[in-house]
Structure 1
Amino acid sequence: MTSRKLKKIFLILIGLLLLSSSFILFKNFNEDIRFITYIVNLNEKKVKFYWKDENNINFRSIENLKNWLKNNDYELAFATNGGMYKKDLSPQGLYIENFEIKNQLDTNNGKGNFYLKPNGIFYITNENEGIICTTEKFAVNKNIKFATQSGPMLVIENKIHPAFKEGSKNLNIRNGVSVLDNGNLVFVMSKKEINFYDFATYFKQLGCKNALYLDGYVSRTYLPEENWIQTDGNFGVLIGVTNNK
C-alpha cells in the first residue's frame, strides 16, 4: 500500500474519531443530570398555551389539562407552567391565546423577578415560528398565535442577564424556554435548586441566543418519555405539547 493511500486512510480514521468524540460529548451534555430538557419541532408537534377551558374554568394543574386533552382525543407529551400569574391565577403581563389578547402587555416597573428588567415575551406565530425577545422590542401583530410575558430574560443577544452573579446563593427550582438556531423550542427545568447565573449558562451552552425565565419554586414539568411526571400545581397559564392529528 502506498504512503499516499495510508495517509488518506489515516485522515479518514482521524475524522471518524473526532466525529465520534463530538457525538459523545454532545450526547453527554444534553443528558446533564441537573435538568429536564425537552426539545420540540413546531412542525411535528402541536405546542399550545392553555389557561381556561370551554366553560371558562382555569385548568390550574397539569393533571387537569392532561385529562381534558384525553377527553378531546389528544395525548399530552409534555407540559410545563407557562409564566407568572396573579393571586386569581390570571396571567401576569401579556397573554395571547389563539390570536386573542387575553391580558395586556405590562411595561411597568416593580419588585420581583417579573420586573427584573429586561423581561421578555415568548411567542409563536401562525407560521409555527417560535420567538423570544425583550419586552422593549416586542410589537403586537395579528400573526401571533400564542404569547406569554415573563421575566427576567435569562440570555439577551447571547449575553447572560447583567443582574445575574456567578456563585449567587439565590437558589431555586427554575424553568425557562428558548429557541435553538434550527427553530426548535427548548424547555428546561432544573431538578434541584440553582441560581440564575448557572441556569442562564446552561441555555448559552445549548447555543441559545435569547432565553426567558418562566417561573421558580412552584414550577412543574411533565415529560413521561423521561419518566418525569409532575402533574400537580395551581397555575395560571400552562404550555402543552401534543402529537399532530
Structure 2
Amino acid sequence: MRASLLLSLPLGITLWAGEAEAVECRDESYQGNRYSLCEVDASREELRLFLRDDTGAVMGHFSTIEERLSAEGKTLSFATNAGMYHTDRSPVGLYLEDGNEEMRLVTNPGPGNFGLVPNGVFCLRDGRADVIETLAFEASTTTCKSATQSGPMLVIDGALHPKFLQDSDSRYIRNGVGTSADGRRVVFAISRNTVNFYDFASLFRDHLGLPQALYFDGNISRLHAPDLDRSDAGFMMGPVVGVVEDIAGDDADALQN
C-alpha cells in the first residue's frame, strides 16, 4: 500500500498529502446483498484492457497477465473480467486495445444478456473512463484508446434498465462497472452472493450514486484484488480490465536479481 498523510487545517479543511492507493477495494453490504467493490480514480491511475499476448494467444488468467507485466516492472493492483466472449475467448462485441480493434461494435438486439438492449461500451481515454450506451456511442465522436462492449446496461442516465424486474428470481453472481459523469470515478463491483439484475443495478445507482453502469458477466466472474487478499482462479477468461502500477522498491529489485 502507498503511504498517505492526513493534514488538518483551520476552518475544518482537511487535505491528504502524499500518494493515495492506486485502487481502493472493500467489501460492503447493500439491501441484504454482499459485494466486493474496487474504486479507481481514472484521472490518476492506469486502466488497461488485456486479451492476447504478443504471439496472439489469449492470456485468460490473472497470473498470466502478471507474468507479462512483471517483464515491464509493473503489476496489477486490481483486475476483473470485462465483457462477454465466445468459447474461443474472442469478444462478442466491440473490443479495442491500445487503438487496435479486434471486434466491431454490435448494435442489433440478440440472444442472451449481451443482446438485452440497451447494452453499452466501457471506454478508456486519457484521464477518464466512461460507460456509454451502445447507440449513443455509435452516434458520438468519442475516440477510445481501449474499449470493451458488454450488456445489458445496468444504469442509463440515472435510470435502471427498463426490462429489469424487482422481484426477478434470475439470480447469479454478477460483476460490472459504473462511472461518474466526469469519467474520473470508476467503481467495479462483483457480488458475493447471487443477485438479480434489478438489485445489482440499484447498487450502482442508489448506493454508489453512479449515473451509468454496465454489466460484464455472471457466474464466470472473477476478481483480482490484493487489498482483499483475493485472486480468483478458474477457467480461462476473455477480455480483462485492470489497474497497472509500477512494482515498488524491493519487489522490483527482486525481479531484476
Q: TM-score, normalised by structure 1?
A: 0.83
2:28 pairs with 1:63: no
| Compared CA separation, residues 179 and 35, structure 1 to 2 (3 A) | same
Task: Output the CA distance in 2 between the equivalents of 1:210 and 1:90.
Answer: 25
2:33 pairs with 1:31: no
- Consecutive unaligned residues of structure 1, counting only runs of 5 or more, are 1-15, 17-28
| 1:154 counterpart letter in structure 2 | L
Counterpart secondary structure, 1:115: coil
Provide the identity percentage: 35
Task: Output the CA distance in 2 between the equivalents of 1:232 and 1:63.
Answer: 11
Task: Output the CA distance in 1 between the equivalents of 2:141 and 2:70.
Answer: 32
Cα distance, 1:229 vs. partner? 2.0
Q: In the alignment, which residue of structure 1 is the partner of 2:53?
A: 53
Judging by fraction of residues, say which structure has more helix: 1
Task: Output the CA distance in 2 between the equivalents of 1:83 and 1:209.
Answer: 20
| 2:83 counterpart letter in structure 1 | G
| RMSD across aligned positions (CA) | 2.0
| 2:85 counterpart letter in structure 1 | Y
Tell me, yes or no, if the aligned pair for 1:181 and 1:207 is still in contact at 8 Å. no
2:185 pairs with 1:184: yes
Cα distance, 1:41 vs. partner? 1.2
| 1:91 counterpart letter in structure 2 | P
**CA deviation string 1:55-86 (max 9, x = no partner):** 11110111211222123311111010010001
More off after superposition, 166-175 vs 37-46: 37-46
- Consecutive unaligned residues of structure 2, counting only runs of 5 or more, are 1-11, 13-25, 248-257
Cα distance, 1:93 vs. partner? 0.6
| Compared CA separation, residues 77 and 43, structure 1 to 2 (3 A) | same
Counterpart secondary structure, 1:37: strand
Task: Output the CA distance in 1 between the equivalents of 2:177 and 2:52.
Answer: 22
Counterpart secondary structure, 2:63: helix
Judging by fraction of residues, say which structure has more strand: 2
Counterpart secondary structure, 1:198: helix
| 2:86 counterpart letter in structure 1 | K
Tell me, yes or no, if the aligned pair for 2:73 and 2:246 is still in contact at 8 Å. no
Task: Output the CA distance in 1 between the equivalents of 2:212 and 2:225.
Answer: 23
Task: Output the CA distance in 1 between the equivalents of 2:27 and 2:222.
Answer: 20
2:246 pairs with 1:225: no
Q: In the alignment, which residue of structure 2 is the partner of 1:134?
A: 133
2:245 pairs with 1:236: no
| 2:224 counterpart letter in structure 1 | Y
| 1:212 counterpart letter in structure 2 | L
Counting matched residue pairs gives 217
Larger radius of gyration: 1
| Compared CA separation, residues 95 and 119, structure 1 to 2 (3 A) | same
2:202 pairs with 1:201: yes
Q: In the alignment, which residue of structure 1 is the partner of 2:4?
A: none
Cα distance, 1:244 vs. partner? 5.3
Cα distance, 1:231 vs. partner? 3.5
